[in-house]
Amino acid sequence: MSSSNDPPPAGPSAGTAWFDLANALGPEGSLAGLFRRALPPLPALADAPAVLARATLSHPERYQSLAADYYRRQMGLWESLLQPAPAEPTTADEATSGTQTLASQPWFRFVRDQHALWVGWMGGMTALLDDDSAEARRVRFVMEQWIEASNPDNFFVTNPAAVARALDTEGESVRRGLSNLAHDIGLGRITMSDGAAFQVGVNLATTEGAVIHESPIAQLIRYRPTTPTVHSVPLLIIPPFINRYYVLDLQPDNSFVRHALASGFQVFMVSWRSACAETAGSTWADYVRDGVLSMAQVAMSLCRTSTFHLLGYCVGGTLAATAASALSARPKCPLASLTLLNTMLDFAEPGEIGVYLGDPPTGAAEGAEDIFPGSRLAAAFASLRARELIWHFVTHNYLLGETPPPLDLLHWNGDAADIPGPLFREYLRDMYQHNRLREPGSLSLDGTGIDLDSIRVPAYVLAAKNDHIVPWQSALRSAALLGAQPRFALTQGGHIAGVVNPPSGRRVRGHWAAENGRIAPDADRWFDGATYRATSWWQDWTQWIEPLGGAMKPAPASPGSARHPVVEAAPGRYVLAPACAAATSNNGSAFPTKPEENDNG
C-alpha cells in the first residue's frame, strides 16, 4: 500500500501509465473501491420516485408548468445544436486558447446546455417538496449529488479544458492524469494535497515534545515549554478521534499548540491510535476513561497539581464534556476550566450531515475486527461539499493531469484514522439518533450519571459561522446545557479553518463575542447583541483563560518522571500508523442503518 507521502508514479509514456492503471485495477476492481471511498453511497432512497410523485400530485399546476417549460427548452436546445456559438471570446487570451475554441464547438455547447437544462428541471422538481421533513431533505441532497456528479467537467470527453490540455501537451497531461489515478487507487483515496510536500514529524507536527504515557487507544504527548516560567495548571487537549491530532499543531506559523506554549501553558495532547485488532472492541466509555480521565491524571501528576484545563475539539469536545460531567460528580472536582471548539452536545439539529442519519443511512464496518474505516466517514463529510472536496480534484488530478498544491489542512483532512465499531455505533445511536447527552442521567460512566448541568467550572465555547458539520446554532444550544454560564464566541470560517486561525496569519478570521459573555435564548438574539472583532479567537481565548492558569513557576527541565518516563519523542508512533481497515461494509454504506440493532457492546 502506498504511503500518503509517496509522489504519483511517473512513466515515460501514456502507454506505461495505462499499464500502471491496469495493474492498479487488479481483479478485485480497485478503481471501484477508490470511488466507493471517495464518493459515499447516498442515503437509501428506494422510495424517492414515490416521494416526487406525491409532490407532483400535490402541486399539479406547478408540475405541468415546469414540464411544459422543460420540453420547450429541450426542443429549443435540439434546434440550436448546429447553430454557431452566439458569444465571442472576451479577452485576447481566451480568443487564442484551445479551451475557448473547443468550448464553442457544438458538442461541448450541447452537453453544457443539456446539463444546465437538467439542473433546472431537478431544481424545479425538488422545489415541489415544500416541506422540511427529513425525507424531503434527503431527496434534495441526493438530487444535488447527482447534479454535481453529472457535471460535464467531470468527464474527459465533455471537458474542453481537458481535451485542449491533452492536445497542447501531446498527451502528456493524459499520462500524468492516469498516473495520478493509479497512485490514488493504490492510496485508497483522492489526493487533495501534494503528498510529497508533507511528512508528519518533519514539517507537520514538529513542536518539540515527548510521549510520556500510552494506553492501547491513545498516547499522551507533553510539549516542551517555550517560556522560562509556566502556569501551574496544565492544559490537556482532546482532538477528534476521526482524524489525527496534529490539526492543532500543523506548522510553526499556524500551530495552536505553539500559541498556548507561548502563553506560558504546560500543554498536553492526546494522540488517538487508529483502531486495530487490539482496540476493535473499545467503547465510548473506554475512550472517556482511558483517553481523557487517565491522561488528565498523568498530566496533573507530572505538573504536581490537583487541577487541569480541558480543551476538546469536535467529537473530542463531546468526549471532554462527558468526562467533565463525570469529574463534576466527584467531591472535589479537579477541572479548572472547560473549552469546547466546534462541539455538539445537543444533537437535535445536526446540520447537513443529518441526511446520512435516521433509518436510511450508511453502515459501520462489520469485519472480523469490527472496525469502521475512517475513510468512509471522511468521504461522507466531503460529500457535503462535493464540488470543492471531490469533483474539483477529479477534474484537476485525473483529467488535467495536475498535482494538487501543498495545503497542510487538506493533507490532514485526508489522514483519516479508523474507529472501533462499538465506539462509532454508540456515538451515532446515543448522540445523533437519540440525543441522550442532553438528558440528565440518560448516559452513565462507571455508574455515574452524566449531567451537563453539573459542569459549573468556567467554560469557553467556540463555534464557526460557516461550519457545515457543527452548525453554530447547535453549538450555541449545546453551550446553554452547561451548568456554568460559558463564554461563547463565533469565529469566521468553517469547521477547520475557523479553528486553525493564527493571529498573525495571512488571512486572520475575526470573531463575534457578547460583551458580557452571556448566551441569549436564541441564536438571532445572541448574534444581534454580539460585537465583531477583527482578531483571532485565539487571542480572546488566551485573555479568558490566563487568569485561570494558576501561579507561575519555573518551566520543568524534563518532560517525564520516574513514575512516567519518556516513551518516545513526539509525534509518537500512534500518529504515524496507517489506517488499515477495509473500506467496505455489510451494506456498502457510511453509517449504520439501525445501530441500536447492530450494537453488541
Active site residues: 314
**DSSP conformational letter for 466:** T
Contact criterion met (CB below 8 Å) for 572 and 219: yes
Closest CA to 491 of 507, 477, 506: 507
Radius of gyration from C-alpha coordinates of the chain:
26
Determine the Cα–Cα distance for residues 308 and 335; give it in Å rounded to an integer. 5
Determine the Cα–Cα distance for residues 493 and 456; give it in Å rounded to an integer. 29
Q: Which residue is listed with cell 399546476?
A: 61
Q: List the grid coordinates of 217.
A: 487507544
Closest CA to 381 of 368, 362, 359, 405: 362
Determine the Cα–Cα distance for residues 265 and 268; give it in Å rounded to an integer. 9
Question: What is the phi/psi pair of residue 396, to 5°?
Answer: -80, -40
Beta-sheet strand order (sheet of 459-464): 530-533, 511-514, 487-491, 459-464, 335-341, 308-313, 235-238, 267-272, 218-223, 209-214, 568-569
Q: Where are the beta strands (DSSP E) in 224-266?
A: 229-231, 235-238
Closest CA to 339 of 489, 211, 441: 489
Determine the Cα–Cα distance for residues 348 and 431; give it in Å rounded to an integer. 9
Q: Where are the beta strands (DSSP E) in 328-380?
A: 335-341, 371-372
- Amino acid letter at 272? W
How many CB atoms neighbour CB 14 within 10 A?
A: 19
Q: List the grid coordinates of 293.
A: 480521565
Phi-psi domain of 359 (left: phi exceeds 0; alpha: psi -120 through 50; beta: other): alpha
Contact criterion met (CB below 8 Å) for 297 and 225: no
Burial class (CB in 10 A: 0-12, 13-18, 19+), 533: middle
The neighbouring-strand residues paired with 214 are 219
